Structure 1
Amino acid sequence: MLKRSKIPKPTVKRLAVYFRCITKLSNDGIEKTSSKEIAERLSIKASQVRKDLSYFGEFGKRGVGYDIEKLSFKLREILGLEKLWNVAIVGSGNLGFAIANYSGLEANGFKVVSAFDIDEKKIGNVILPGVTIKRFSEFSKEIKEKDIEIAILTVPANVAQDVADKVIDNGIKGILNFCPVPLSAPENVSIEDVDFVISLKALTFEITSREQEKKEQEKRNNA
């Protein structure tokens, strides 16, 4: 089995998608599935599903497929979802508020237990039931008291690295970065970047590419 640090990031992200897919199958009362069925539901190739799962050992038998309960248990273990992860929101503006109140978080193993900001007007406001916004200066104390391992950053780009450095210095192990700048971190700290604008630009590329191909095809047809 390949060392976890060597597993390609796209594979890890697809594992999370597979887990969501088989959870839906399980909720629908289905007990067995196959790489083909998973692939069809996700619009990818069955060979890709098999290759991704093979990084972590054998999960099914040829001609029989996967036992959904066993596959679900294994993926949960691989993804570290055997426990509830405590999360802090750093930057409690509109985006931070929306993330904190996303109902799917806790259902997927993540619980927002703290929220921070530097804007004095926000301090003391309730961001979700049981969680009030605190001064960022209280982060060090809060992370220890509530065993927080993950921080979600939604702060302005010009302070993002400074904020990241401070949360890392206080023991954060992973950062979900919604700031529109890349962050630097030690090797023992994981960072996942989320940039809506990049995703939108990827969409515009695909849309314009299809339109260009359509125009070129029309030219060939009329030639």
Structure 2
Amino acid sequence: MSETEIPDIVIRRLPLYARELGLLAGEGRDFISSQELGQRLGVTPAQIRKDLSYFGRFGKRGRGYEVVGLRERLRTILGLNGRVKEMVLVGVGRLGRAVLGYAGFRRGGFEVVRVFDSDPNQIGRMIDNHHVADVATLPQYLQSSRVAMGIVAVPAEAAPSVIEMLVSGGVRAILSYAPITTSVPSGVHLRQIDPVMELESMAYYLEAPFDGYVEDPQ
């Protein structure tokens, strides 16, 4: 089955499954049913089975899924069982520095290998053992490297040009923290994280009627 035939939401759930299976392996579990896995993740067993069916047949009748085997298979499907995925980071303001210092990237198989910024006060500095290069040199760097992933942590007004440079340089997976909506060519995958929009959607539930039980203090 081709990549385009698999819904993006399914791909997004695979890391969730793999992470939970890793926790189960740490607990010493050998097998788990789709029922129990679904309960742990808040996903229906039918959804788990349907998601996995896009990639083949998994599980053993009467025993469920082999924890370690399925985790490794999912990581292989995601391309995470090979060499470390190298990334560039554009933007070393407060957000960019927080991203750069996040230890979870390395644990997950990712590594920021080059850092760029347009601020003269940042260019040339060393931040978390990374030399900050002028963003004007980004196209040249991408031409001479095999980096295919990029993180954008720049203000909204600068993001479109940065994303365009990344795409032109062959980057095919971009994670953007800029609060804008922009389009990219087919074959390039752009994910945008906007904490404010997430909070705005969550605010709805604060206004919705509360139908839970509150104990009378008397």
State the match for 2:211 in structure 1: 214
In structure 2, C-alpha distance between the alignment counterparts of 1:103 and 1:144, rounded to whole Å: 28
Q: TM-score by structure 2 length? A: 0.91
Residue equivalent to 1:111: 111
- 1:127 and 1:195 mapped to 2: Cα distance? 24
Alignment pair present for 1:202 and 2:201? yes
- TM-score (normalised: structure 1): 0.89
Contact 1:86 1:146 in 2 (8 A): no
* Match in the other structure for 1:174: 173
In the TM superposition, residue 155 of structure 1 has moved relative to its aligned partner by 1.2
> Which one is further off, 99-108 or 25-34?
25-34
Aligned partners of 2:27 and 2:15: how far apart in 1?
A: 19
Q: Per the alignment, do residues 109 and 144 of structure 1 end up closer, same or farther by CA in structure 2, a change over 3 Å counting?
A: farther
1:22 deviation in Å?
0.4
Could you list the structure 1 runs, at least 4 aligned residues long, displaced by more than 4 angstroms after superposition: none
Partner of 2:137: 138
- Can you give the 5+ residue segments of structure 1 that lack an aligned partner in the other structure? 218-223
Paired position in structure 2 for 1:29: 28
CA offsets 1:5-43 (integer angstroms, 9 cap, x no match): 121122111111001100111122222112112111112
Aligned residues: 213
For each residue in 1:40-98, what CA deviation from the matched residue of structure 2 results, as whole angstroms up to 9, or x when unmatched?
A: 11122111111111111111023210111210121011111123110111111111111
Counterpart for residue 86 of structure 2: 86
CA displacement 1:143-183 (0-9 Å, x = unmatched): 34442111101111112111111111111111101110112
Once the two structures are superposed, the pairs formed by residues 44-193 of structure 1 within 5 Å of their partners are: 44-82=43-81, 83-129=83-129, 131-193=130-192
For residues 43 and 169 of structure 2, what CA distance do their matches in structure 1 show?
Answer: 41
Identity %: 33
Paired position in structure 1 for 2:6: 7
RMSD: 1.8
Following the alignment from structure 1 to structure 2, what is the Cα–Cα distance between the partners of residues 4 and 188? 10
Evaluate the alpha carbon distance shift between residue 126 and residue 28 of structure 1 in structure 2; reply closer, same or farther with a 3 A threshold.
Answer: farther
Q: Give the match's secondary structure for 1:112.
A: strand
SS at match of 1:80: coil
CA contact (8 A) 1:151 1:175 kept: yes
Q: Which amino acid aligns with 1:66?
A: Y
Say if 1:59 and 1:66, in contact at 8 Å, map to a contact too: yes
Q: Secondary structure at the match of 1:214?
A: coil
Please give the alpha-carbon distance, in whole angstroms, between the structure 1 residues aligned to 2:211 and 2:28: 43
Contact 1:151 1:172 survives alignment (8 Å): yes
Q: Do the aligned partners of 1:88 and 1:114 also contact (CA within 8 Å) in 2?
A: yes
Q: In 1, Cα distance between the equivalents of 2:101 and 2:145?
A: 19
